[in-house]
């Protein structure tokens, strides 16, 4: 899999927002897992050039209840990204990124949400706002992720979005190279395009 968010489940305007789901899911809940063809990409920049890192593998799931009026209810979302799976086209950059993210001590980046709001965005799609905890390099912050999804019938759901964050918010030291002549910018953007299929 490739990361095409870090981390958007993802700035949309939408109307008719339903109340956030409770932490206790109803009995008709179905768990959907991320399909292996899902993609994520981390986008960033430096004082020299823009850069990207593919996420070659990640896992996650979401608990859905059937739609009553076009949009499903989502009760929880969880995603885990192994730091080892963040791959750059330059081995030196990849090594520095893994070190900055404290891979040995904190081998995964995690997002968890039990507060998810869904609303109809268009006739065939829905918007998602997930309030939850994002953990990076041993630091956890509450974030709001937004995404747009659509039902694929028996094939599950297609969800895509993006999320922007600052490395400094998680006390991550920005990687540098060439004796400091190249320094990674504080802000990064995660984009994702994922398929969820029933477990």
Pairing of strands 2-3, 39-45: parallel
Give the number of domains in the chain. 1
Distance CA 117, CA 85 (A): 30
Domain membership of residue 23 (yes or no) is no
Domain membership of residue 19 (yes or no) is no
Distances in Å between the Cα of 114 and the Cα atoms of 21, 39, 62, 120, 167 are 8, 23, 10, 20, 24
Q: Output the average pLDDT for the chain.
A: 84
9 pLDDT above the threshold of 60 = no
**pTM for the full predicted model:** 0.81
| 112-126: pLDDT as tens digits | 999 999 987 777 789
Per the listing, tokens 């995404």 go with: 147
Q: How many Cβ atoms are within 10 Å of 78's Cβ, its own excluded?
A: 15
* CA dihedral for 7, 63, 142, 139, sign (positive or negative): negative
The reported pLDDT for the residue numbered 154 is: 84
pLDDT band at 20 (very low <50, low <70, confident <90, very high): very low
Assign residue 180 a region (left: φ > 0; alpha: ψ between -120 and 50; beta: otherwise).
left
Domain region containing 69? 2-13+28-198
| 30-68: pLDDT as tens digits | 999 999 889 999 999 988 789 999 999 999 999 999 766
Domain membership of residue 21 (yes or no) is no
Domain membership of residue 87 (yes or no) is yes
Closest residue by Cα to residue 140 from 104, 180, 174, 113: 113
CATH of the domain at 161: 2.40.128.110
Per the listing, tokens 């927002």 go with: 17
Domain membership of residue 55 (yes or no) is yes
Domain membership of residue 194 (yes or no) is yes
The reported pLDDT for the residue numbered 187 is: 95
The reported pLDDT for the residue numbered 178 is: 56
């Amino acid at each position: 899999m490739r990361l095409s968010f870090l981390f958007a489940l993802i700035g949309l305007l939408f109307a008719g927002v339903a109340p956030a789901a409770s932490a206790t899911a109803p009995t008709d809940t179905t768990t959907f897992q991320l399909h292996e063809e899902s993609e994520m990409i981390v986008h960033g920049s430096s004082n020299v050039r823009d850069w990207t890192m593919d996420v070659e593998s990640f896992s996650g799931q979401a608990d859905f209840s059937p739609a009553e009026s076009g949009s499903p209810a989502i009760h929880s979302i969880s995603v885990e990204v192994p730091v080892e799976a963040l791959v750059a086209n330059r081995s030196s950059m990849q090594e520095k990124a893994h070190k900055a993210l404290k891979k040995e001590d904190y081998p995964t980046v995690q997002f968890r949400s039990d507060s998810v709001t869904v609303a109809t965005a268009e006739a065939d799609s829905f918007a998602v706002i997930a309030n939850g905890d994002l953990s990076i390099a041993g630091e956890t912050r509450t974030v709001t992720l937004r995404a747009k999804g659509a039902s694929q019938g028996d094939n599950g759901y297609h969800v895509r979005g993006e999320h922007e964050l600052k490395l400094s918010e998680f006390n991550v030291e920005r990687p540098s190279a060439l004796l400091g002549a190249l320094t990674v910018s504080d802000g990064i953007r995660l984009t994702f395009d994922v398929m969820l299929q029933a477990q």
